[in-house]
Structure formats: structure tokens, C-alpha cells
Amino acid sequence: MTMREPGWVWRRRHVLPALMAAGSLAASACGWAAEREGWDALVEEAHKLLTDQSVRAKFRRRHRVEALDATCAILRYARSPEDSLREARALSEPFFASLALGGIAALTIKSAPETSEKLLEEAQQVARKINRWIEADATSLGYLIQLIRHYEPERARRILASFRKTVDSRSECSRGQAIHQLALATIEVNPGAAKGLLVDSALKSGDNLRSIEVLVQFLMKQSPDDTLKLAQEHYDAKRPTCADFLRLVLAEHALRDPKDAFERARKMRPENRGVACYSITMALLAAGKKEQAKPIADFLDALEESRDSENWFAQDRLRQVREAMQKGVEEKPLPIIAMPEHIQAFLGAPDIRGLAGILDSAEIRFHDSKQAKAFIAAALALAPECSFAGEKLLYPRPSMTLGGIAVIAAVVQGPADAVKCVEGIGEPELRAFYLMAAYEAAHPLPEPVRDWPLRFLAVPAIHVPAPK
């Protein structure tokens, strides 16, 4: 305040705006808190369903219910960390318990790295207790290893070394599944250890050709001559997995020197040369080098004509080579995406088959929120009759349709509308699943965790452009 400025003027100019700003911030904070409460209500409602034993007894797929428990523990961590950890540790199936602890570790990597490292170590210890397959997985170690690259370098290298010891101590089957992710993490976090991992672990394991391929591709970029020499020495000495090692190296070597790669493949033992030539041919075709691939494809033709029983693999794969020579190497099919024009066509003539096609897509893209809201309204009207004669699904399609609509409603209209959609689902575990899926649609889990086997149904990704 200056001598020329009366007190009341100074208060109007400085104090009043400050008070107004404080009130605005408080209102904003209250609004954010209320919005957060609304989203948390989705997870808490799912938690009630999962912890009510009378409801739980009605679950149809009880062997997968702990997948829901694990997801719930991860999603509740920000709100109730102690309860979340207690429930994660209480899971009876080590596979899901380790994923729950790993998911919580992922949430805290940036905010509390020491705590996160301890949780990941605990998840690793729990994973060691897994002694049976959970559908397609013999272990959870591969999923946990995906988190390593998200830590700062020194911590990541320390965690990587710990997992390396654990993976090496596992049975052949579970080691084979985990070592692929270990190879990817090693290349990114500690590339100098890639050769040692290949020689001392990957080549000595069983079901791990993907890990050998990943490491070979990396080492062939770093030191191609040394890697080629190493592969040839392994093959000549008839060491474990030597034939696969050399053929994968030759496939990479062919991109630099196709003639030398072909000559080396021809000199391999009769039972190996066919598959080696096949690998080289497909690598060249994938790189667009059809002319260089032709002599090797002709050699495979000659092997097929010889009817040499030791070259059965060449005979079996010859059709693929011939098709690739004519049409090129087939690209992997792209995921099905429901585009705005598909949705608009459905809105023009709503029908259950069109609705099912959109909701079964891997991704749904709306033109804007107006189109999304129109779709929700039309879909809700059709949901009760959305079923097809003779269709065999894990759950009734009308219930899954309501769940898919709930996920879209969560993104477009908010949690309250998602809850209304889910209320019509009669199966309690499905209701819990879609409540959490609706929450995740707006608040996705960290990158690797969202793809872990914690869902027993596919949920499409929802894209609605922000207003301009």
C-alpha cells in the first residue's frame, strides 16, 4: 500500500482477487474430488461384488475369479494402499498374486521407486511358487520382466540380474516362456550381457526360439562376423539348439551376403539344410530381395523332387515358399477397427448384427461425442435382443453387449452412466468385470500391465476426439 492509495482501494485491488482465486481453487479441488469419487465408485462396487461370498458363489468361471481379484487390488491401490496390498498377498493362486503385486509395483515406479522395486522383488518370489499352468501360461515371470525397462538404468540393471538368476533356476518350460522377455529387457537395459544370455541360457533351454531369434537379430547388428563365427562353431560342435542358432544367423547374414549364406546352408547336415534354406528364402523375400531368393527356392524345389525323407521340412514348407515367390510375404492381419463411417451406417439402420460387429472390434473410433452418444442410445435399445441362434459364448451376448456399451459410456458420459448400463447385467462376475473395464477405459493401467492376462474377455479401445 502506498501513501497515495487508500486502504480500501488496496484491499479491492489485491486482497479481493486473492480471496476469489482461493475460492476458485477450492471449488476446482472439490469438483476434482467429486469426479474422482465417481470413478472410484466403479471399482468399489466391483470390490463389493468380489468380496461378498454369497454373490461369489454364483460366479460361473470360478477358476478365473482371482484374475478379477488381482485387477481390483491394482485399481484400488491409489485409494486404499494397505487394503490393496493385503488382498493381493492373500490371493491363493501364485500366478495372480504375483501379477497383482507386479501391477502395484508398476503404479509406483515413478512416485516411489524403492517401494516399487521391493514389490517387484516380492512378486518375483511369489512367482517362484507357481507349479501349474494357468491356461497358456506356465509362469508369470515374463510379464513381471516387462516392467524392468521402466526403471532408471542402475536400478533396472540390478533388477534384471535378479530375474536372470530366477529364470535360470526354473524348469525348462517356464524358463522358455520367461527368457523371451528377459532377452528383450537385456537388449534394452544391459546390451553387453546379450551374448552371455544367448550362450549360457537361451541356447541351453527348450521352448525359447523367440528369445534366440531376438538375441541373434541384435547381435548380428552389433557384431555380425563374430556372431556368424560363434554360430558355426556351435553347429560344428553339435551343441544344444545349434541348428536353430545357425539357421537364424544365416537368415540375418543373407541380407548382407545371400550367396555365402546359401553356401553355408547347403553344407549343413541333411536333416538341417532344408529348414535353413527355407529360413533364408523367407528372410530375403520379406526384405524384397526376390531375385536373390530365387536360386535358394530352386534348391528347395530340387530337394522336394528328390523325395529325401530327411528333408521333410523343406517339402512341408515348399508351398509357402512358392506362394511367397508369387505374391510376396503375407503381412500379419491388422486388428478390426470400427471407423466413424461404420458407426454412421449402423445409426442409419440399427440392427443386432451391426451392433455385435462394432462391439466385437479391437478398436472403436467415433467421429465426435455426439455420434458416440447417439450410438449408446441406439445400442441400449437393441441390447436385450442382441443374440444369435446357435451361438455358444461364455456369457449371454445381451449381457456382454451392455458391458461394451458401459465402457463407451464411461469414456463419453462419465462413470454414472456406465453404472446404469452395468446394472442390467445379470451375471455378477461379468458385472464386476465391466465395472473395472469402464474405469480402465478412462484411467488406463500402465502400459505393460494393461496387456497382462487379467481379463477373460476382450474389451475394445475407445477413441472419441476432443472438441475443437
For 244-284, the pLDDT digits (tens) are 999 999 999 999 999 999 999 999 998 898 889 989 999 99
| Chain segment 312-367, per-residue pLDDT in tens | 554 556 667 767 766 666 666 667 999 999 999 999 999 999 999 999 999 999 99
Give the integer Cα–Cα distance in Å for 194 and 215: 7
More confident residue, 125 or 36: 125
pLDDT at 394: 83
Residue 96 confidence (pLDDT) above 80 = yes
Residue 17 confidence (pLDDT) above 60 = no
Task: Give the residue from 121, 75, 119 showing the smallest Cα distance to 101.
Answer: 119
DSSP code, position 364: E
Burial of residue 17 (number of CB atoms within 10 Å: 0-12, 13-18, 19+) = exposed
Residue 9 confidence (pLDDT) above 50 = no
pLDDT at 61: 76
For the chain, the structural domain boundaries read 223-331, 337-463
For the chain, the average pLDDT equals 87
Residues 103-108: contacts with CB within 8 Å, 24+ apart?
Answer: 103/70, 103/71, 103/73, 103/74, 103/445, 103/446, 103/449, 103/452, 103/454, 104/73, 104/74, 104/77, 105/147, 106/147, 106/150, 106/445, 106/446, 106/448, 106/449, 107/74, 107/77, 107/78, 107/445, 107/446
pTM of the shown model:
0.86
